Structures are given as structure tokens and as C-alpha cells.
Structure 1
Amino acid sequence: MKRLPLLLAIWSIASTAAASGFSTARFGGEHGHPTTDNPTALYFNPAGLALGKGHRIYLDGALALRRARYDRPVGAISNPGTGTPEDLLDANSGKAELDNWNLIPFGALVSDLGVENLGVGIGVYVPLGGSASWERNTAFEGARGEQYPGAVDGVQRWFTIEGTIRSLYFTAAAAYRIPSLRLSLGAGLNVIQSEVHTIRARNADGTDDLVTGDLPKEGRSLLDVESWDLGFSVGAIWEPVERFWVGASYQSQPGFGEIELKGKLKTQFPSADQTSQDVVLTQELPDIWRLGLRWRPQERWELRLSGEYARWSVFRDQCVFSEGGRCEIRADGSTSADSSGVIQNIPRRWRDGFGVRAGASHWVVPSVEAYLGVGYDSNAIPDRTLDPSLYDMHKISASAGARVEITDWWAVAATITPVFYFTREIEVGESQGLAAPSNQPNSAGTYEQFIAVFDLNTEVRF
């Protein structure tokens, strides 16, 4: 069988989520929260820009190490014994493995412009996104793979072989602190580039069949689409009593609702030539609400508590259709009478997610801050639509790190955060089962994941 070449390299700029859904916002380590006064306020709460002084350059890089495992049962195979011959059941069942590392960047320039209580800033970062490249199935690298070459891409290939979904933000924000009220107000404007790049195995009928009779059936598709959209953020931080802060912020949806990503879909089936067509992918990404508290009971101690609520329930479908067409998906996965040109719909049907975090800092000496944190994030993906392309589970995290003021104008901080995911077991009868064009192979099985994030950042003041 012909294989679809990877014509466009995938830029792995963000790891799979360490919060609900595929949020990757771990910027600043324990200092990234809705009452922060450092430059990560550009994303977490723009009001925090007014709490700093002078000019500041901030660079943050989080290295995320991800290990994921997916074990697919024989019962999930569409047509065992026919579409998948008895001696090839391990081509569509068994364990798939992933071991990846990715870099999550954040960069910002903020300033008070010489005006007391003012803060303005610009930044670039990736708060939403994930990437994955799964390991090959070595059982099909030899003679067995010559007859059925698609199987070498692993049992998860019907959902993903490798791919990226991400949103890159370019943000400008401003804030002002009203001294008489001890109140800071801020707002930001986001220009957002959203991208989806994915390679997956695909059959036109939505099955995982390897063959039709004696003929090979398994195909490949490469989707490469992007969009540019606007978004905004607003926030407030109030200090009702000295050294006690309350912060709240709102981050809008990219595009304020459904966005259209445009590009190419390349498809290859064994019985036909490769096709390439202009397509549109529609999806909705969440808006996010945040609330936080920060308290300095003593000069050398600080306590923090924060939470966020992400409206992932808007992420219902990723519908791909021909340019000029229209996609409306019913509850059963079928298209409405008004739809036209629909090629495939990936059902998501996610639910809202939330997370809570608590942390504490102690200044060993005035220039050295040590900190710890713990957190919990909920699962946003229901059993029916969980598949290996996008993971989520209930999860807990723990953080430890330190920030050092090397000079009066230069500081460096480092944080290590392991994220422990609860294993999920999805039964065959609980997975997928939607009507065309939302039908795809059954994604039942055992899902496991662990992520470790090492964050290093530096801040220069002048």
C-alpha cells in the first residue's frame, strides 16, 4: 500500500495538557496565577501588570516530558476475522506507546513607561496546544509489514500517528492601579494563530479494516489547516488590606466562538490516487475564568490559592468539509439537511473543566525564595469520545522550586512539576458509536499518562 508522505513537518511547540482539556499554561511555575505581579500576568490576569515597576524583559521555557500508553482490546476491532484477519488481530489491538518531550515558550516585555501605577506589556506564548508522535509497532517492521505496511504505525493510528493542535497568542495589554481603592484593572488584546496538523489512518467507511476480501483497504490522511483570530482578556486585583490580594480574570474564546481553520486535506487509499483538496475545519475553544488569593502574613511568607473554570463544553466537534460547504452536526453525529460538502467529523462532546491550586513561598534570605505547590485538575473528556489523539484524565500535581535575585536587576527561577494522571478504562460498549460522518473506529481501552514539567525563567529589570 502506498504511504502518504509527511509533506509538512510538525512543529512541536507545546506539550499535551497538564491542566484540563489541552491547556498548557504552566508559565512562571508557582508564580503563574491570577494575582501575580510578574509578566505572566499578560495571560493569567492583565491587572497584575500594574503591580510591577520599571522595564522588565521576561523569558520562560518549560520542558515537558510526556509518557503515554494506550492498550486497545480485541473487542474494539470493527470486523475481527474479516476486515482484520485472525492472524493480524495484533495489528489493531494491543499496546501503543509514546515518549515525547516538548518546549512550551513564553516571552514578554513589560513597562510602566515612567508613569506610577501604570503597566503595559506585549508577549508571545502558547497557552493551548498539544503534540504527539507515537512509536512504531515493531512487530510489523519485518516480513509481516510488507503485506500490511500500515500496521507499523501502531494500534492508535486510526486516531493519530503524529499531530499537533495549538493556539499561539500574541498579546498586548495594559493595566492601571487606583491607589485610593487599592484596585488594579487591566485588559488585553490577543491575536491568535490556531493550527491543526494531523496524520492518521483512515477508511472511507469509518472502520479499522485492513482488507476488503483479499485487497488492502487501509488509507492515510494528512490534514493541515490554520486560522488567525482575535481574543481579549480583562481582570482586576484588589488589595482590601495590606499584603492580601484578591484577583479575578476572564480570557475570551479565540474568535469569540466558532472559528474556521482553512488549508489542505491530502488523502491516500490503496485503490486510488492521492487526492488533495481545499478544506475548512470548524471548532470552538474555551473561554476561561480565574479567581485567586495571595496573602503575605509575614515578610518572609506568602500563601496562595487559585482556581480556574474552562468552558470546554463548547469543544463539541471538529468538522472537516470542502471549502464553500457547510457543516451542522446533530446529536447522533449525522449532518443536518443544511449541511453540504462534509468529509468527516471528529466528535469531541467535551464537558467543562476546572482546576484548583495551592502554594506557599518562604524567603530563606531576602534574595532567595523557595516555594511548593499542589494542584488538582478535572477531566474534560467523556468516555464516549476519548481517543488517543487527545488525552485527559483527573490529575494531581506537585511543584517545588526557587527564585533567586542574582543582582538587583536580574532574577532566575526554576520549578519542577510532576503531573500524575488517573488511569482510565473505557469499555467497548461505552466508546464512539455515532452516525456518519462522525463514525470512527472504537477507541475503547486502557489509557495511562504521566507528565513532568521543568520550568526555567529569567527576568531582567532596567
Structure 2
Amino acid sequence: MTRTFRALALAGVSGAVMSLGVSGAMAGAFGLREQSTIAAGMADAGAASGAGGVSSMFWNPATVTMSPGWVTEQNLTFINLSGKITPTVGTPPGFAALGGSGEIGQGAVLPSGATSYQLNDRLWIGIQTGAPFGLVTKPRDVWAGELYGRSSRIFSLAFNPVVGFKVNDWLSVAAGPNIEYFRLTLRQAVPLSPPLPPAILPSSFLKGDSWDVGFTAGALITPWAGTALGVGYRSSVHHDIEGSIGVPLVALAPVAGQVRANFNTPDKLSVGVTQAINPVFRVNFGFEWDNWSRVGTIGVVSVARGVPVNFLPLNYKDGYLYSVGAEYDWSPALTLRAGVSYEQSPIDFSNRSVRLPDNDRVNLAVGASYRWSEKLTLNLAYSHLFLDRARILAGAGRDYDVRNALGQSIPFAGYADGSADIVSVGFRYVFGEPTPAPAPAPLIRKF
């Protein structure tokens, strides 16, 4: 038993250490949904009902009871994000002359993993690791929207140990803590007085980090063979972020120094349905609700003075994902997948910024699994995200409004175009001999 717990811990730590390379944002706002190669091949349809394999624990921890024995899944996802912001009429001529953002997207690698172990015919333990949030946007330092953003980085890391219990033949439940690290670093140009030319404005920065804890819980219903319904919940994590703010001018020194901020991550509700049409063909449906509307305006408070020195007016709305996918067992060794999803982003024209010019998107995905041996299965998925063109407007009367020393608003107007190609690879490995599922009770009839 000691070896088992040590193995689960090492599996979690290895996935977490690899996650140090995470960047990008491929769910609404700065959420990350790339946690399972298998699920990625179906645009995450049915992830909460176990269609994403062991890694489905991210969406619904009760799916840990679907894997007999001792099983691990490890995934590695490459996100090739492409985007640019183009200034339009409404941007002051001096800034408009600096041109667009150039390429703001950066290639990113997102590792994730999950391991489950069956203790007996009723009880399972497991751990899921990954990055639920992340963002890197990096326009050129000198560009038309530099007052509203020169670089934005958000990094997270989560450890989610779970305990699953099979109540009876058709109901399983599970829960566990979600231990999460969150870090952000933001830079933008500062309009100094006396005014400097836009091309040589210095940068201010805001950075901070936090460790805090939430929880996950879920239920899995399998009313009859071939049908699974799963509901999973990831709670909000309340982060007490501590960090610093810096400005490039002595006159603004009271603003600089150590700061703190309170930030609540959105809670997530996931629903999945898996239905076998025949022994080799299954369809999956998914729905996700992300409570981004709890993320309003974040106040940044000076530790020394106890007064607000900055605000982050995120003011997001709720996000929704609708997905459908299918998988077909071409042969005993090869399974093919495909799926499509539509996501309503929590960001629209009312709250969009140059830091994160997000919008609604469509995801088309394909994938496959190859059973190399009785113990090893290799997984592969590819998807392309189509993002709608996004209008951006900052300035007087908007959430984002930078003013010079005279109190005059300096607006920015533009639009953003973006897309992404995502490639995910992974493997599933079964240790030892799988523990057979308990045999169903014999059918007894009385005449």
C-alpha cells in the first residue's frame, strides 16, 4: 500500500513539474481545457461521463471508478496560437502610427496527467495534475495599444487527489481537494508628463502569486450497459495574491511597492453523456458552465498604505461550452474519434481588452488510439479553433481607460483576429493485472 501511494504521488509530481512550461489560453477567458488527449479528439464531448479516459477526473472525479486496477494516463499538448490586433479609426494619430501588435500568440506546451488505483471492489483513489488556467500574449513593445498592454502572463498549477466510491452497480461518487498555484505578470506603457513620444514610453508592471485550496466532487450514473451520465463540479479557489507593482517615475513612487489582491477563480460545472450505439460505436455529448461572472473588478491594494493603487476591471460573463463527438473501434487495436464544440466566451465587446482579445469559437477535432499491447495504449488528437473577429474599444466610458497626467483619456480602437492549431499526444499504461469488476448478482425468478 505504501508503494501505491508513493507511485500516485510521484505521478502527480512529475506531471506538475512538466507543467512549468505552460502558456496559452484555449478555453474561454484564460481557462485551459487541454487535460486529456482522448477527450481532445472529440472536442471534449463526454469528458464528464468518462469518455476522456482516466484524465476525465479533471471534469468529474467520479470517473476514477471506471478504471479497474492501477492505471495512469499522461498527456502532452502543443498549442500553436496565432493572433494579431490591428488599430482602427478612433486611435490617436500618434499611437496609430506605431502600427499593429504583430503576432501576439506564442507556441505553448501543456502537460497533464491522471492516475487511478482500485483498492477493492468499492473504493478507488487517484490524482489528476495539470494547469487549469494560463495565458501568454506578447505584442511588440512599441505598438498602437501599448498603453493597454505590452505583455500578459498567467500561470497555474493544480494537484487534485480524489477518493471514489462505487455505491452500487449504477452509481459512483467521488470528491477531493484541489490544491492550486496561481501567478500573473502584467506590463504596459505609461504616459509620462511632460509627455514623451509614444515610441519611447517606459513600462510599468504588476506581478504576484498565491497558493490556495478548493475542491472537486462528482457523480457517475450507469443505469444500464452502454450508457453513462456524469456530473462534475470544480469549486472556485480564493487566491490571496501577494506581489509588487512598479512604475518608471519618482513622482509615482507612492504607487509602487508591495501589493495584495483577492481573486476568485470561476467554479465549473460539467455534464457528460455517453451512449453506445453498438459494440463498436459510441456517441458523446458535453456541456460545461464556467462561472466567470464572479470575476469582477479586482482591486490592487498597497500593503504599506492599505489603500487601492490599481484596478483590473475584468468584469467577465459566464462561459458555456456545447460539444458532440463520436468514437469508432476500427479494429480491436485502433479507435478513431471526431468531435465539434461551440463555446460562448465570457468576453465580448463590453469587456474585451488588448491583453485577452477573446471571442466565441468553434472547435473541430479528430483523434485516435492505438493499443500497442495489453498494457500500453497510445493516443493522438488534433483540433483547430476558429475564433470570431473581435472588436476592441478602450477609453472614456469604457472599463479600460488610460489617462495622462492632465486627466485626458487616451483611447484605443481596433479589432483582433485569431486561430489555433492544437496537437495532443499521450499514453495510457496499466500496471500489474487489472482487478476484475465484481460480477453482477444472478438473476433469480420465481414462478
TM-score by length of 1: 0.80
Q: C-alpha displacement at 1:441, in angstroms?
A: 4.9
Work out the percentage of aligned pairs sharing the same amino acid. Answer: 18
Cα distance in 2 for partners of 1:69, 1:456 equals: 28
Give the Cα separation in 2 of the matches to 1:195 and 1:223: 11
Q: CA RMSD in A?
A: 2.8
- Matched-pair contact (CA < 8 Å) for 2:351–2:399: no
Q: 2:423 aligns with which of 454, 458, 461?
A: 454
Q: 1:400 to 1:433 in 2, by over 3 A?
A: closer
Q: Which amino acid aligns with 1:90?
A: A
Q: Which residue of 2 aligns with 1:250?
A: 233
Q: What is the DSSP-based 3-state SS (H/G/I as helix, E as strand, rest coil) of the residue aligned with 1:76?
A: coil
* Aligned position for 1:105: 111
- Corresponding residue number in structure 2 for 1:36: 50
Does the Cα contact within 8 Å between 1:51 and 1:117 map onto a contact in 2? no
1:391 aligned residue: 357
Q: Distance in 1 between matches of 2:343 and 2:91?
A: 29
Cα pair 1:288 1:309 within 8 Å, conserved:
yes
For the residue of structure 1 that corresponds to 2:65, the secondary structure is helix
Alignment size in residue pairs: 402
Which residue number in structure 2 is paired with residue 145 of structure 1? none
Deviation, 1:75, is 1.4
Does residue 168 of structure 2 align to residue 179 of structure 1?
Answer: yes
Determine if contact 1:112/1:118 at 8 Å carries over to the other structure.
Answer: yes
TM-superposition CA deviations, 1:330-369 (whole Å, max 9, x none)? xxxxxxxxxx521111211111010011000000111211
Which one of 304, 308, 319 corresponds to residue 284 of structure 2? 304
- Residues 214 and 264 of structure 1: CA distance in aligned 2, closer, same or farther (over 3 Å): closer
Aligned equivalent of 1:56: 71
TM-score, normalization by structure 2: 0.83
Question: Out of 184, 188, 193, which is 1:200 matched to?
Answer: 188
For the 8 Å contact 2:353–2:392, the answer to whether it is kept is: no
Q: Deviations over 1:155-187 (max 9, x none)?
A: 33223322311331111101122334x111111
Instruction: Give, as a single letter, the amino acid of the residue that structure 2 aligns with 1:112.
Output: Q
Q: Which moved more, 1:216-225 or 1:447-456?
A: 216-225
- Residue 371 of structure 1 corresponds to 337
Closer/same/farther in 2, CA of residues 433 and 13 from structure 1, 3 Å limit? closer
Residue 254 of structure 1: CA displacement? 1.0
2: CA distance, partners of 1:158 / 1:429: 11
SS class of match (1:281)? strand
Residue aligning to 2:249: 269
* Aligned equivalent of 2:274, options 279, 287, 294: 294
> 2:301 maps to what in 1?
321
Provide the C-alpha distance between the structure 1 equivalents of 2:414 and 2:21, rounded to a whole number of angstroms. 26
Return the offset for 1:379.
Answer: 1.9
Give the whole-Å Cα distance in 1 for the aligned partners of 2:149 and 2:395: 21
Against the structure 1 CA distance between its residues 430 and 60, is the aligned structure 2 distance closer, same or farther, given a 3 Å change threshold? Answer: farther
Q: Structure 1 residues 318 and 178 mapped into 2: Cα distance closer, same or farther (>3 Å)? A: same
Q: Structure 1's 407 and 12: CA in aligned 2 closer, same or farther, altered over 3 A?
A: closer
Q: How far did residue 319 of structure 1 move?
A: 2.2
Distance apart, 1:95 and its partner CA:
4.7
Asked if 1:19 corresponds to 2:15, the answer is: no
Cα shift readout 1:272-301 (whole Å, capped 9, x = no counterpart): 889851111332221011111001121100
Aligned to 2:60: 45
Provide the rounded CA distance (Å) in 1 between the counterparts of 2:394 and 2:70: 57
- Indicate the SS of the match to 1:212: coil
Change (3 A) 1:429 1:357: same
State the SS of the aligned residue for 1:40.
helix
Distance in 1, matches of 2:68 and 2:198, equals: 70
Instruction: Tell me which moved more, 265-274 or 292-301.
Output: 265-274
Contact preservation (8 Å) 1:383, 1:431: no
Q: Structure 1: 5+ residue runs without aligned partners?
A: 1-10, 137-151, 204-208, 326-339
Give the unaligned 5+ runs of structure 2: 1-19, 432-447
Q: Deviation of residue 210 (structure 1)? A: 8.7
- Counterpart CA distance in 2 for 1:29 and 1:443 is 39
User: 1:238, CA displacement in angstroms?
Assistant: 0.4
1:343 to 309, 324, 342: 309
**Contact 1:283-1:316 at 8 Å conserved across structures:** no
Match of 2:129 in 1: 124
- Deviation (angstroms), 1:27: 1.8
* Alpha-carbon distance in 1 for matches of 2:157, 2:399: 33
Separation in structure 2 between the aligned mates of residue 24 and residue 348 of structure 1, nearest angstrom = 17
Any conservation in 2 of the 1:122–1:172 contact (CA below 8 Å)? yes
Corresponding position: 1:421 with 2:387 = yes
Could you tell me which residue of structure 2 aligns to residue 335 of structure 1?
none
Q: Which residue of 1 aligns with 2:11?
A: none
- 3-state SS, counterpart of residue 64 of structure 2: helix
Cα 1:90–1:244 change in 2 (3 A) is: same
| Residue of structure 1 equivalent to 2:205 | 222
What is the Cα deviation at residue 382 of structure 1? 3.2
Q: Greater shift after overlay, 191-200 or 115-124?
A: 115-124
> For residues 215 and 364 of structure 1, do their structure 2 counterparts lie closer, same or farther at Cα, with a shift above 3 Å needed?
closer
Q: Distance in 1 between matches of 2:327 and 2:399?
A: 49
Query: Quick one: which amino acid aligns to residue 387 of structure 2?
Result: Y
AA paired with 2:242? K
1:307-345 Cα distance to aligned partner (Å, 9 max, x none): 0011111111232221156xxxxxxxxxxxxxx521111
Name the CA shift for 1:101/1:215 in 2 (closer, same or farther; >3 Å): closer
8 Å Cα contact 1:428-1:445 kept in structure 2: no
For 1:235 and 1:260, locate their aligned partners in 2 and report how far apart those are by CA, in whole Å: 27
CA contact (8 A) 2:271 2:288 kept: yes
* 1:394/1:430 CA distance change after superposition, 3 Å: farther
* SS of residue matched to 1:385: coil
Match of 1:234 in 2: 217
- The one-letter amino acid of 2:423's match is F
CA pair 68-317 structure 1, distance change in 2 beyond 3 A: same
Change (3 A) 1:34 1:249: same
- Picking from 67, 90, 94, the partner of 2:97 is 90
- Which residue identity does 1:389 align to in structure 2? R
Deviations 1:86-142 (A, max 9, x none): xx6412x545322410011102322113x12432112320011211222x3xxxxxx
Which residue of structure 2 lines up, in the alignment, with residue 332 of structure 1?
none
